[in-house]
Structure 1
Amino acid sequence: MNLIDLALAKQHLRADGSDAEDEIIGVYLAAAQDAAEQFLGRKLYPEGTTLPAEDPNGLVMPASVKAAILLTLGHLYENREAVSVGNIVTEMPMGAERLLWPYRTDIGL
């Protein structure tokens, strides 16, 4: 289940109002959310949710995690292939990983 609404995802991507790319945007959105959960080592829950007793490590999604998922979505949407040819690429200093780090639980300390 995607925790971010497709309309917000399309707004972030500046995708046109058509539904021609809805399926692929949905795939990228699910992948971005999964990547965030894997990085955090925590399951994400929608805003306003009470964490279930069986998942005390879960996380009700804060705005910074939502922003990180949207940043990852944008990366997947703009870079649809495994390689980039003829481009100068620079990772942004306030990228998705930096937004996720404060919520990570399995850092091996």
Structure 2
Amino acid sequence: MTVINTETAMEHLRLDDEIDKTIVGGYLAAAEDAAMQFLNRRFFADQAALDNAIENEGAGDRPIIITPSIQSAVLLILGWLYENRGDDLGHDIPGPARWLLNPYRIDMGV
């Protein structure tokens, strides 16, 4: 299950076809995963979801509740994945998404 709901993702992509919902769900999960990998931390929809993850030892290190910037970054990544499906345009997330995520990034290494 994704943090951002599929309806929000569909609106962002300006799609209303139920057929697209499955593929958008997959890209949304991938976009959230890419953002979490970039941040080196997990994010959650709200305090209840965060508390539940902590209780079940699934929160990881320094988890946070999703911010508007993180949500926007995930939607930018989603849009990029949807528009460029099948293309080999590189291996990094889009620049504007990186810019939105950088303030929340931890443990970047050397």
Quickly name the TM-score band, shorter chain normalised: 0.7 to 0.9
Asked if the contact 1:47–1:62 (Cα under 8 Å) also holds between the matched residues in 2, the reply is no
AA aligned to 2:98 is E
Instruction: Give the secondary structure class of the aligned counterpart of 2:106.
Output: coil
**CA drift at 1:92:** 7.3
Aligned partners of 1:108, 1:99: CA distance in 2, in Å? Answer: 19
What aligned pairs does 1:30-109 form with structure 2 within 5 A after superposition?
Answer: 30-49=29-48, 50-51=50-51, 52=54, 54=57, 55=59, 57-83=62-88, 95-108=96-109
Structure 2 residue runs without a partner (length 5+): none
Instruction: Give the secondary structure class of the aligned counterpart of 2:108.
Output: coil
AA aligned to 1:43 is R
Report the number of matched residues: 101
Aligned partners of 1:92, 1:37: CA distance in 2, in Å? Answer: 14
Change (3 A) 1:106 1:32: same
Aligned partners of 2:73, 2:31: CA distance in 1, in Å? Answer: 9
Asked if the contact 1:2–1:30 (Cα under 8 Å) also holds between the matched residues in 2, the reply is yes
Instruction: Give the secondary structure class of the aligned counterpart of 1:21.
Output: helix
Q: Which one has a bigger Cα radius of gyration? A: 1
Structure 1 residue runs without a partner (length 5+): 85-90
Aligned partners of 1:83, 1:45: CA distance in 2, in Å? Answer: 30
Q: TM-score, normalised by structure 1?
A: 0.81
Aligned partners of 1:92, 1:103: CA distance in 2, in Å? Answer: 16
Aligned partners of 2:88, 2:94: CA distance in 1, in Å? Answer: 18
Aligned partners of 2:78, 2:34: CA distance in 1, in Å? Answer: 10
